[in-house]
């Protein structure tokens, strides 16, 4: 990896980590989710990066891909909140997430299981490792603690302006596998739940322009966000009808309706290990 690209990743990672830490402490009962989402996105810009996708704030059985559009909903006592954010510099993306409870401490074992799974997974990453082995470590760590990993969701490699660039890091010992290589950039993101760990789709709140999108609105959005995800509140007055063919990121919901935790870091693979940039 050349030095300029490496520096972009490091800076994006530093900003994403700082904003994650700052924002988690601001999640409190009765505050609108929107206040936190806008804080996250604004802080990323103020610190010199751009949001790589709309801040995801997913509560309880919602695992991922929810982003608020207005002042409802608000955080409620006992909510298990996944805050997932991304920052990019010149398209080089750092993606990170963590889970907190609002005013309670009832789910710390679940949250801890997820954090441990991430830590153990990261500890195994180096040049030549199989993605299915990373998945096995995540699965074992979560199951040993009595929970289920969500098999329908995966980590992913990152490339310039490409959030899911084709290689997945499974959250279980999958049949499919891929050899991790030096200089690959990966977001590793275990999800743990009390349920069986399957996913059903909710509504879409996040979209991305793809090659099927034609017309002026699509071109305007592409100029602003390339093919990275966006959400309607970023583009006041937008009609989604004008964006026929846009990719829809559906809300991802645990099928049994059970609470989910998530932990995520972005790493750069090197010869003997990996560097956590977030
Ligand atoms: Mn993420
Ligand atoms: Mn991710």
Is the alpha carbon torsion for 74, 236, 91, 43 positive or negative? negative
**Based on the structure, what is the number of domains in the chain?**
1
Among the listed residues 112, 116, 87, the one whose alpha carbon sits nearest the alpha carbon of residue 100: 112
For residue 266, name the pLDDT band (cuts at 50, 70, 90).
very high
**Backbone phi and psi for residue 213, each to the nearest 5 degrees, phi listed first:** -80, 125
Query: Which residues are catalytically annotated?
Result: 84, 95, 156, 164, 189, 264
Q: Output the domain CATH number for residue 139.
A: 3.90.230.10
Question: How much distance in Å is there from the Cα of 85 to the middle of ligand 1?
Answer: 6
**pTM recorded for the entire structure:** 0.97
Distance CA 192, CA 206 (A): 23
Mean pLDDT of the chain: 96
Size of the chain, expressed as the number of residues it contains = 278
Closest ligand to 58 CA? 1
Residue 173: count other Cβ atoms within 10 Å of its Cβ: 17
- Per residue in 199-245, pLDDT tens? 999 999 999 998 888 888 888 888 999 889 999 999 988 777 777 78
Distance CA 275, CA 278 (A): 9
Closest ligand to 169 CA? 2
Question: How much distance in Å is there from the Cα of 264 to the middle of ligand 2?
Answer: 7
> Residue 56 to residues 44, 98, 119, 273: CA-CA distances in angstroms?
14, 11, 22, 29
Question: How much distance in Å is there from the Cα of 110 to the middle of ligand 1?
Answer: 18
Closest ligand to 187 CA? 2
Domain span at residue 198 reads 3-276
Mean pLDDT to the nearest integer, 55-73: 97
Residue 93 has pLDDT above 80, yes or no: yes
- Per residue in 131-183, pLDDT tens? 999 999 999 999 999 999 999 999 999 999 999 999 999 999 999 999 999 99
User: In degrees, to the nearest 5, what angle opens at C-alpha 29 toward C-alphas 41 and 149?
Assistant: 70
């Amino acid at each position: 990896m050349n030095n300029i690209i490496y520096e972009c990743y490091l800076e994006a990672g530093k900003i994403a980590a700082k904003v994650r830490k700052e924002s988690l402490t601001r999640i409190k009962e009765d505050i609108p989710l929107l206040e936190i989402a806008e804080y996250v996105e604004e802080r990323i810009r103020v610190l010199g990066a751009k949001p790589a996708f709309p801040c995801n704030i997913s509560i309880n059985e919602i695992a991922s891909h929810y982003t608020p559009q207005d002042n409802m909903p608000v955080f409620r006592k006992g909510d298990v909140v996944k805050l997932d954010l991304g920052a990019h510099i010149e398209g080089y993306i750092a993606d990170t997430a963590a889970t907190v409870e609002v005013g309670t401490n009832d789910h710390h074992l679940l949250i801890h299981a997820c954090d441990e799974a991430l830590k153990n997974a990261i500890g195994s990453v180096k040049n030549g490792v199989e993605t299915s082995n990373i998945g096995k470590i995540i699965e074992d760590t979560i199951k040993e603690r009595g929970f289920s990993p969500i098999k329908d969701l995966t980590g992913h490699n990152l490339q310039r302006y490409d959030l899911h660039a084709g290689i997945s890091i499974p959250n279980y010992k999958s049949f499919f596998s891929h050899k991790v290589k030096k200089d690959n950039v990966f977001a590793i993101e275990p999800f743990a739940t009390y349920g069986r760990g399957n996913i059903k789709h909710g509504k879409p709140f996040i979209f991305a322009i793809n090659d099927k999108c034609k017309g002026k609105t699509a071109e305007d959005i592409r100029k602003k966000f390339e093919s990275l995800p966006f959400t309607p509140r970023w583009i006041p007055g937008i009609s989604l009808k004008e964006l026929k063919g846009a990719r829809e990121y559906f809300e991802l919901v645990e099928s049994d309706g059970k609470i989910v935790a998530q932990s995520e870091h972005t790493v750069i693979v090197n010869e003997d290990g990996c560097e956590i940039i977030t």
